Structure 1
Amino acid sequence: MEVVKWSNYLYGGNGNLAEKILWRLSQHSEDLEEEVLRRTTNLLDERAKCDAILARFLPSSVVRQLRSGSNVIPEMFELVTLMFTDMPDFGAYVARHPPLRATTVLAELDMLFHALLSQYAVYRVENISDSYMIASGVPVANGTQNVLEICSLAQAVMRRAPEKLSVYQELPIKVGIHSGPLAAGVIGTKKPKYCLFGNTVNIASRMCSHGISGRIQLSDSTADVARTVYPQLMLEERGWIAVKGAGEMQTFWLQF
């Protein structure tokens, strides 16, 4: 009698001991399945968060290759369009104002780009302080579409900057754009970084540094594609200018 009472206390209800053990095993199995499902869901959520963070530093296609254990082999791209932006007077501004004020300016600038980048097929390669380097056509080639994507982004930046940047009148942005071939690949293992190499990078940078605040300067190679394929992009000829490391180049202003 005592054994029966004790088994009823442990397993609940009526029935023999074997039935109660089987019932408890069944319940335990269901509990384990629920726990596994819960932990799997949490793991997938954390993985998605991790991928979102990695996507800020590496293209999503590269993240997938690295996660699968594949080596990211450097590639040559025949046509990539690069955009460099800069606030020429930011250094002098920092010297005149408290550090927190400069931080606010950079935060506003980052919010501006963050809001716009997702609307175009572009990748933010790098940004240092007030300078940004953005590309289209890597790591997935997209024909001449990269010219339209970068030019459209540049126009959006210049249109939105006056309303989104509290100091835009004092710190206007200038933009330089160039299109051409380059190589791209992941450098580093502990802190991998997607890097672009080639003279196209140098000339795109020069288009910015040789530009004028408040304007978008295009190289002739970008302008050729724009005029031929995307006539909706309105250009104005600037003329020939001396470009460091490249000699005389014909450049154009992109209207916005």
Structure 2
Amino acid sequence: MIPSKFVFACHSLFKARLSRSISYWVFLAILTIEVVILIPSYHREEQDLLQQLENLAKAKINLIIILTQKEMKSDLWEQEITSLVDESELISGLTMYDGNGKNKQEFGNPPQLTYSDFKEEKRRTQRSPDGLYYDAALSPEYLGIDRVLIIRHNAGDIQSQLYQYIFRISILVIIIGVFVTIVTIIAVGYIVIIPILRLRDDLRLAGDALSHDRTNIELQSFQSDRQDELGEVMNAFKEMFLRVGSEIVERKKADEMSRHEQEKSEQLLLNILPKSIAKSLKEGKKNIAQKYDNVTILFADIVGFTQLSSEMSPEELVSLLNEIFSIFDRLTDRYDLEKIKTIGDNYMVVGGLPIPKADNAALVANMALDMIEELKAIEQKHQQNLRIRIGMNTGSVVAGVIGTKKFIYDLWGDAVNIASRMESHGIPGQIQVTQSTYNCLQDRYLFQERGAIEIKGKGNMLAYLLVNKKEANYYE
């Protein structure tokens, strides 16, 4: 039983266009060679068959001549020769000439070859155009008598034999051609076609793998150790794939590093600017400024920090300040507020921008109360006398980005200055707010009226101290 793999391989070979093209030209080349060989072979076969026909006729004539010469009867010779036309199937007719070329007798179907065509030649032949007759002239020297015989042979069987000969040769040529073609296809297939098909499949797999950034694949071409030109092509393909794969790995590393650096840059940008403002900057907007009619600004300052800085080492001071402000930053995220900046031990935050919020005053108030509590916990942890002074104000501001180096998102307006004055004129450990902030929060929070205080540039302003929430869990 023929193995299925062999059958499949043969099917693939005959299905391959290159294989079919090679087989076509091989078969055509064999046919061409055989035709070139067949033409002279055909003529040789024709001459051999005609020679055999002529030899049979000559043998009979020679026998008659020998027998009649023994009896010395020339008329008997002519009579016997004449009888050959009637009795022999080989001879269709003949013409007899004397030594001077005079036509002595004609019998049967006279030959087309004449004495004038023959002349002094010892032997002359001619075949009729239809191939049915073959004329042969015999000289006196050949016959041994003073006569010239031109014999017309029946050559009809010769033509049929030639057709059979051509048929046999053609069948043989086709068999040889098919056999050689099949052998060539199989040989070329296993040497060239199948490796090329494998290389084609490997190219497809490699292309698919590289398009998906995969380089750890097994390819059939990589297993080849051929030392011919096709092996060189496979080795070149392997080198190309490995090089491209290596470049893809390097590119992925570079992309990953670039992405990581971009994320770091974006995170740094978001640490400086609100998300919507950072997006506007990345989109190419240069002048970013907007007015907000209702925001709440908070300023916080650590009381006695200057004296504390003289009592601590720089590392301890920075570590403590970083711990405090990191807690404040988490509170900012918790209440979805926007940290504006820190200056020394001063912390500034605002609610209601860049996305306006109707309850921004309450959110800032909750953060302020939490800041007081968180600082108490830090005070107990470090056994330091830490108190914070907080000021709040609600009003309209203009917010925007200034500068091209170390730029900052900042606020401007009278509401900012008043919030800063609420902090600087406040009481340590207390949250001092303006009348506008009080009006926003009085229904939900507990306040203690402080009364009018002198504010630089504003005169006397009524201020309140935020004590707590009226409802313990409100806005938590």
TM range (shorter): 0.7 to 0.9
Contact 2:448 2:464 in 1 (8 A): yes
Q: Residue 156 in 1 paired to residue 367 in 2?
A: no
Per the alignment, do residues 198 and 38 of structure 1 end up closer, same or farther by CA in structure 2, a change over 3 Å counting?
A: same
For 2:258 and 2:357, locate their aligned partners in 1 and report how far apart those are by CA, in whole Å.
34
Report the secondary structure of 1:155's partner residue.
helix
Provide Cα deviations, 1:201-222, integer angstroms capped at 9, x if missing partner.
1110000000011000001110
Residue 248 of structure 1 pairs with residue 460 of structure 2: yes
Which secondary structure state, in structure 1, belongs to the residue aligned with residue 303 of structure 2? coil
Q: How far apart are the structure 2 equivalents of 1:17 and 1:82?
A: 76
Secondary structure of the 2:280 match is helix
Checking the alignment, whether the CA contact within 8 Å between 1:112 and 1:161 is kept in structure 2 is no
Higher helix residue share: 2
Distance change (3 Å), C-alpha of 1:28 and 1:42: farther
Q: What CA deviation, in whole Å up to 9, does each residue of 1:142-172 have, x standing for no partner? A: 23x1101111110111122111344575120
Confirm whether residue 26 of structure 1 aligns to residue 205 of structure 2: yes
Deviation at 1:64, TM superposition (A): 1.1
Structure 2 residue aligned with 1:127: 342
Tell me whether 18-27 or 155-164 shows the greater mean CA deviation: 18-27
- Within 5 Å, give how 1:7-46 maps onto structure 2: 15-34=194-213, 35=248, 43-46=258-261
Could you tell me which amino acid in structure 1 is paired with residue 365 of structure 2? C
Shift of 1:44: 4.7
SS at match of 2:350: strand
Partner SS for 2:427: coil
Kindly tell me: are residues 20 and 178 of structure 1, through their superposed partners in 2, closer, same or farther at Cα, counting changes over 3 Å?
same
The Cα of 1:115 is off from its aligned counterpart by 2.4
Task: Specify the SS of the correspondent of 1:245.
Answer: coil
Indicate yes or no: 2:444 matched with 1:232.
yes
Q: 1:189 to 1:225 in 2, by over 3 A?
A: same
Trace 1:35-114 onto structure 2 (pairs within 5 A): 35=248, 43-114=258-329
- Give deviations 1:162-186, integer Å, cap 9, x for gaps: 1134457512011000111110111
Q: Find the partner of 1:215 among 417, 430, 433.
A: 430
Provide the rounded CA distance (Å) in 1 between the counterparts of 2:383 and 2:325. 14
Q: Deviations over 1:73-108 (max 9, x none)?
A: 311111111000001200011122322221222122
What is the alpha-carbon distance in structure 1 between the residues aligned to residue 411 and residue 212 of structure 2? Answer: 47
Distance in 1, Cα, partners of 2:306 & 2:299: 17
Structure index of larger Rg: 2
Look up the SS of the partner of 1:16 in the other structure: helix
Q: 3-state DSSP class of the match of 1:255?
A: strand
Counterpart position of 1:10: none
2:98: which partner in 1?
none
Partner of 1:195: 410
CA contact (8 A) 1:112 1:164 kept: no
Q: In 2, are the aligned partners of 1:109 and 1:130 still within 8 Å (CA)? A: no
Q: Deviations over 1:22-80 (max 9, x none)?
A: 52353144224325888766655543333222111000001111122234531111111
Distance 2:375 2:385 in 1: 12
Q: Is the 8 A contact 2:329 2:339 kept in 1?
A: no
Amino acid corresponding to residue 402 of structure 2 in structure 1: I
Report SS of the residue matched to 2:194.
Answer: coil
Measure, in 1, the Cα distance between the counterparts of 2:298 and 2:416. 9
Tell me the SS of whatever aligns to 2:357. Answer: coil
Pairwise CA distance, 1:189? 2.4
- Whole-angstrom CA distance in 2 between matches of 1:33 and 1:140: 41
3-state SS of paired residue (1:240): strand
Q: Aligned with 1:174: secondary structure?
A: strand
Aligned to 1:11: none
Equivalences for residues 140-155 of structure 1 within 5 A: 140-143=355-358, 145-155=359-369
CA shift for structure 1 position 232: 2.1
Q: Following superposition of structure 1 onto structure 2, how do residues 172-187 of structure 1 map, counting pairs within 5 Å?
A: 172-187=387-402
Letter in 2 for 1:95: S
Q: In the alignment, does 2:419 pair up with 1:204?
A: yes
For the residue of structure 2 that corresponds to 1:253, the secondary structure is strand
For residues 194 and 241 of structure 1, the distance between their equivalents in structure 2, rounded to whole angstroms, comes to 31
Q: What is the RMSD computed on CA atoms of the aligned residues?
A: 2.7
Distance verdict in 2 for CA 1:168–1:82, change over 3 Å: farther
How far has the Cα of 1:188 moved from its partner?
1.7
Distance in 1, Cα, partners of 2:252 & 2:315:
46
Cα-to-partner distance string for 1:100-119 (whole Å, 9 max, x where unaligned): 22122212212221221111
| Structure of greater relative contact order (alpha carbons < 8 Å, 6+ residues apart) | 1
**1:184 is matched by which residue type in structure 2?**
A
Contact 1:116/1:153 (8 A) holds in 2: yes
Give the Cα–Cα distance (whole angstroms) in 2 for the partners of residues 146 and 168 of structure 1: 34
Q: 1:161, 1:168 within 8 Å by CA — same for their partners in 2?
A: no
Contact kept? 1:76, 1:183, Cα under 8 Å: yes
| CA 171–31 in structure 1, closer or farther in 2 if over 3 Å, else same | same
